[in-house]
Amino acid sequence: MSVRIGRTLPPALAPIGFRNIAGGILAMFMGDKATTAFAEKLKEHFNVKYCYLLSSGKASLALILRALKELYPEKDEVLIPAFTCYSVPAAIFRVGLKIRICDIEPETLDFDYNELAEQLSAERLLCVIPTHLFGVTADIPRVRELVGNRDIPIVEDAAQAMGGEFRGRKVGTLGDVGFFSLERGKAFSTVEGGIIVAGSERIGKALQGQIASTSAYSLKEQVALIIYAVVISVFSRPWLYWIPRSLPFLGLGETLFAPDFSIKRMSGFQAGMTVGWQNRLSKIIGIRVKNAGYLTKSGMKSTGDSELLSSGLVRYPVIVRSNSEKISVLRESDRLGLGGADVFPGTVDTIAGLKGYLVGGTSLKASSIVERMVTFPVHPYVTEADMKRIVGLIRKPAGDARKISEFIKNAEERSR
Ligand SMILES: Cc1ncc(COP(=O)(O)O)c(C=O)c1O
């Protein structure tokens, strides 16, 4: 990654405003009131009986898995996509379960359903985790059809898809239990945070016990969150983002396998930051849909058909022709500050720390995604001029940097 001084887009972002931070600070003095009120609103919105608020998406997943382990003590394998966020295998590893992977299709980023049908017959399978990667919706009704009458809970990973819909149904409520992430690069953000929504009575109740034994944020930790919220709010603006991005010790954009994350109940500060969340979410999704639509109309083919993309992507995924093209596109995107990113560095089976914890599955198609996928930002700080330049990057034939710059200049002149 080269250091660039000047306007630079973050690859993914849900902007945090000072109003949200002020709301959070006020709520810190309200005890559990703010978290309870937010959970009640979520229950109503998602029409579920159970909703729990935590410190992150991975913390939410870890507690879901602990609850399932308690319900099905004889089972210890979790089936996940071969290409997903490293936090997912980290949460599974953290609770002492084994990982089974299933390949995914480059066209949909969803399971290879032929392989899924086979993997679902594994005897020790505790649950399956379909994932709405980058907000591209996964076909959970199809997973349910394949599960049939076997008792295999569907845990819906909607970490990147809060506010999305699949055929008119709210994402997060299609499985037996679902979770969202409120980290800074997601649909909307409380710095960090996680939400569990459960329609299943059994799982909802089992989770109650898990939540009761989870600790709260200390006052010092909440103050650290306030500082972090202010830093994100200021430095995620494109004119300043180059500063944190050029500090290697911050590790922005790095994906690490880190199972020693903390598991806490959401704090009053985070819950208070959600003031006006429904409006904020629908506004941000509207912008993302519009920006993704612009890229698609300009000829940039994304994975997934328009229905799968209609829920507001947190990143716009594109599969280019070769790994060398991906490298040159990323290099040029870096040089121009366009926020192109390659997200997760490998398939789950390539994570060194998981040796001995993987029990099967394939990743051939997922590896081709790793080789060739680039994602681009569609968040509210992306302007039309940025999008024109992004389109120019992808439309050009792979070549050297000078040719790419010429191509972008020509594309910009043509579109004026
Ligand atoms: C698909 C997916 N699942 C789970 C998570 C974990 O969420 P969090 O970062 O809030 O722990 C992420 C976060 O990037 C994700 O992208």
Q: How many domains does the chain have?
A: 1
- Among left, alpha and beta (phi > 0; psi -120 to 50; other), residue 47 is left
With a 6 Å cutoff on the Cβ, whether 349 touches ligand 1 is no
60 inside domain: yes
Best probe residue, ligand 1, of 160, 254, 313 (max atoms within 8 Å of C-beta) = 160
- Cα Rg of the chain, angstroms: 21
Which stretches in the chain have pLDDT values below 50?
398-401, 404, 407-408, 415
Amino acid in the structure at residue 342:
D
Ligand 1 atom with least separation from CA of 193:
10
User: What backbone torsions phi and psi does residue 99 show, to the nearest 5 degrees?
Assistant: -115, 130
Question: Could you tell me the distance, in angstroms and rounded to a whole number, from the CA of residue 79 to the centre of ligand 1?
Answer: 16
How many Å apart are CA 72 and CA 78, to the nearest integer? 12
22 inside domain: yes
7 inside domain: no
With a 6 Å cutoff on the Cβ, whether 236 touches ligand 1 is no
With a 6 Å cutoff on the Cβ, whether 160 touches ligand 1 is yes
Amino acid in the structure at residue 114:
N
Question: Could you tell me the distance, in angstroms and rounded to a whole number, from the CA of residue 183 to the centre of ligand 1?
Answer: 8
Ligand 1 atom with least separation from CA of 194:
10
With a 6 Å cutoff on the Cβ, whether 156 touches ligand 1 is no
pLDDT of residue 408: 47
CATH value at residue 177 = 3.40.640.10
Burial of 358 (0-12, 13-18, 19+ CB in 10 A): middle
Question: Could you tell me the distance, in angstroms and rounded to a whole number, from the CA of residue 332 to the centre of ligand 1?
Answer: 27
pTM of the model: 0.93
With a 6 Å cutoff on the Cβ, whether 264 touches ligand 1 is no
Question: Could you tell me the distance, in angstroms and rounded to a whole number, from the CA of residue 243 to the centre of ligand 1?
Answer: 25
Residues in the chain: 416
Question: Could you tell me the distance, in angstroms and rounded to a whole number, from the CA of residue 96 to the centre of ligand 1?
Answer: 19
Best probe residue, ligand 1, of 99, 181, 260 (max atoms within 8 Å of C-beta) = 181
pLDDT of residue 401: 47
68 inside domain: yes
- Under a CB-based contact definition with an 8 Å cutoff, are residues 118 and 152 in contact? no
- Under a CB-based contact definition with an 8 Å cutoff, are residues 81 and 133 in contact? yes
With a 6 Å cutoff on the Cβ, whether 85 touches ligand 1 is yes
55 inside domain: yes
pLDDT of residue 21: 97
Nearest CA to ligand 1 atom 7: 57
Question: Could you tell me the distance, in angstroms and rounded to a whole number, from the CA of residue 142 to the centre of ligand 1?
Answer: 23
Residues forming beta bridges with residue 128, ordered by sequence position: 79, 154
With a 6 Å cutoff on the Cβ, whether 157 touches ligand 1 is yes
- Among left, alpha and beta (phi > 0; psi -120 to 50; other), residue 81 is beta
pLDDT of residue 406: 56
- Under a CB-based contact definition with an 8 Å cutoff, are residues 359 and 411 in contact? no
**Which are the contacts of 44, defined by CB distance < 8 A and separation ≥ 6?**
none
Domain boundaries, position 71: 18-219
244 inside domain: no
User: What confidence tens digit (pLDDT) does each residue in 215-250 have?
Assistant: 999 999 999 999 999 999 999 999 999 988 888 777
With a 6 Å cutoff on the Cβ, whether 178 touches ligand 1 is no
pLDDT of residue 398: 45
Nearest CA to ligand 1 atom 16: 85
102 inside domain: yes
Tokens of 188: 């909307």
330 inside domain: no
